[in-house]
Amino acid sequence: MKYLPTIGIECHVQLSTKTKLFSEVDNDARNKEPNSCVSPVDYALPGMLPRLNGEAIRFAIRAGKAMNCEINLESRFDRKHYFYPDSPKGYQITQFYRPIIGAGYVELPSGTRIRIEHAHLEGDAGKLTHFDNYSLVDLNRVDTPLIEIVSQPDIHSAKDAHDYCKELWRLMRFANVTYGDLYNGNMRFDVNISLAPKDSDKLGVRAEIKNLNSFRSVERAVEYEIVRQTKILEAGEKVIQETRGWNDATGKTTEQRSKEEAKDYRYMPEPDIPPIHLTTEFVDEEAMRLPLMPVDYRKKFDNVIANDTLEVLLDYPELMLKLGEINEKYAKNISNLFASVLLAEEKSTEYLNDLPSVKDLTDLAEMNTKKELSSTATKEVFLRLFDPQMKGRGSKQIAKELGLIQENDLGALETIVDAVLAKPETAKAQADFRAGEEKVIGFLVGQVMKESHGKANPSAVQQILREKLK
């Protein structure tokens, strides 16, 4: 490729605070009637004043710290004006001049660092649903707290764009500031992308693709734009600075608004909210609430859990928390169990609503390590730990009840082996093996397993058999 893509991403994260950013109304509008989570402040009755939600400030601090950002001890709000029915006040309350979150960086799994320019707090807009000759307005989402995270243009590939968005999603969930439900728009991405010749020190003209709501669509949109802009440049034409929309079905971006039509938002300091003054103690106290972050787990489990496995598990903060509590010698074992289930099962995340206790997981791993449970049996017990009927009984009890515990006592095994070898029906197999027919050992092991009702450890059995048949 002759051209180097340069990509910057703005990400909106809906915060899962109890109440809205500027009113005391329930912020969780999931499964609620339209316009049922709206206060007079949110629908902009005359004379209503915003009341800043302190919890949102705490969330912003955690989000910022999760991205290794400076927290600005002094920040304030501004008004961004535009007319549209999704904005009852006629302006959005945002932080244009003095954002709460300053510069920082996000480290991708590959180790690449993407710098964060800043991130700010703001209120979300309402939702319009358009019909033939009318539109319906739902203001439930108005002034749900958002943080908008603005990256530096440090991204140069579709994959890194994907990984950056995914890593942000993980960080926000580890920081416990959002439900992180992408399907419902809890996180939305705007991607700025331009192409310039590889040896050029100037950036090209950029297009902005607005409102992407999955990592995959970010990746695909970037791939598409690289092709589209390359074609334009190859043809000797110029890329137009514009806002484009992404169509997931066609896999294309289409023109929405050009720069000439760009709005003048007439920013103004918000006079109804005094500036925010934070103390370093307050910021530090909030930062202390952050659990271990993905980057910490990558270090902690380096050489313990395979990278691929760890990257799967890092999508689940509660699971990682549990894994962190488990004795490190069992971490690999248990992480493999979780990974196999999460990769295989259709509704895998349901498994994570109610995780087994550390003791159950430890017991299970211990039984497996001691060869009391075969790998198949281990997985079976593991699955039962999520079964509402069984889970209360604990790993050991479940293993016993299911008769899955392997016989490892060599003395006992030897007795069983001797009994099997004494049986006339195994005589031929014994002779064949002695004659060098290696594969009949399987038959003999099978017979021993049968005799032990499946509880024998097959590798131990084989060892004894080989010893006896020498």
Positions in the binding site for another protein (CB under 8 A): 40, 43-52, 79, 81, 83, 85, 88-91, 137, 264-268, 271-274
For the bound state, the minimum distance from the C-beta of residue 264 to another protein, rounded and expressed in Å, comes to: 5
Please, what is the minimum distance in Å from the beta carbon of residue 396 to another protein?
55
Separation of alpha carbons 192 and 243, rounded Å? 9
CA distances from 34 to 27, 29, 89, 124, 127 (A): 13, 9, 18, 15, 10
For the bound state, the minimum distance from the C-beta of residue 126 to another protein, rounded and expressed in Å, comes to: 11
| CB-nearer residue toward another protein: 36 or 349 | 36
Decide whether 81 or 252 has the Cβ nearer to another protein: 81
b/e 160-188 (16+ beta carbons within 10 angstroms → b): bbbbbbbbbbbbbbbbbbbbbebeeebbb
Residue 171 DSSP SS3:
helix
Per DSSP, the three-state class of 147 is strand
Toward another protein, which CB reaches closer, 51 or 393? 51
In the bound state with another protein, the residue whose beta carbon lies nearer, of 44 and 287, is 44
Nearest distance, CB of residue 329 and another protein, angstroms: 54
Residue 333, phi then psi, degrees to nearest 5: -55, -50
DSSP per-residue letters across 275-342: PEE--HHHHHHHHTT----HHHHHHHTTTTS-HHHHHHHTT-HHHHHHHHHS-HHHHHHHHHHHHHHH
Question: Smallest distance from the beta carbon of 41 to another protein, in angstroms?
Answer: 9
Number of H helices, E strands in the chain: 15, 15
Minimum CB distance to another protein, residue 219 (Å): 34
DSSP 371-432: TSS-HHHHHHHHHHTT-TTTGGG-HHHHHHHTT---B--HHHHHHHHHHHHHSGGGHHHHHH
Give CA–CA dist 302/413, Å, rounded. Answer: 38
Give least dist CB 130 to another protein, A: 11
Cβ distance to another protein smaller for residue 97 or 443? 97
CA distance 154 to 172: 20
The residue type at 418 = D
- By C-beta, is 84 or 443 nearer to another protein? 84
> Pairing relation of β-strands 74-75 and 187-197?
unpaired
With respect to another protein, which residue has the nearer C-beta, 75 or 406? 75
**Nearest-approach distance from CB 271 to another protein, in angstroms:** 4
Q: How far is the CB of 247 from another protein (least distance, A)?
A: 24
Cβ distance 167 to 109 under 8 Å? yes
Nearer to another protein, 43 or 282 (CB): 43
d(CA 143, CA 180): 17
Dihedral sign for Cα atoms in the order 113, 118, 124, 127: negative
Single-letter amino acid code for the residue at 98? R
In whole angstroms, the minimum distance from the beta carbon of 73 to another protein comes to 19
Residue with tokens 């064949």: 432
* Closer residue to another protein in complex, CB, 81/332: 81
CA distances, 259 to each of 4, 82, 430, 457 (Å): 23, 16, 85, 71
Minimum gap (Å) between residue 259 Cβ and another protein: 13
Nearer of residues 134 and 183 to another protein, judged by Cβ: 134
Q: Which residues contact 400 (CB under 8 A, 6 or more apart)?
A: none
Of 51 and 257, nearer to another protein (C-beta) is 51
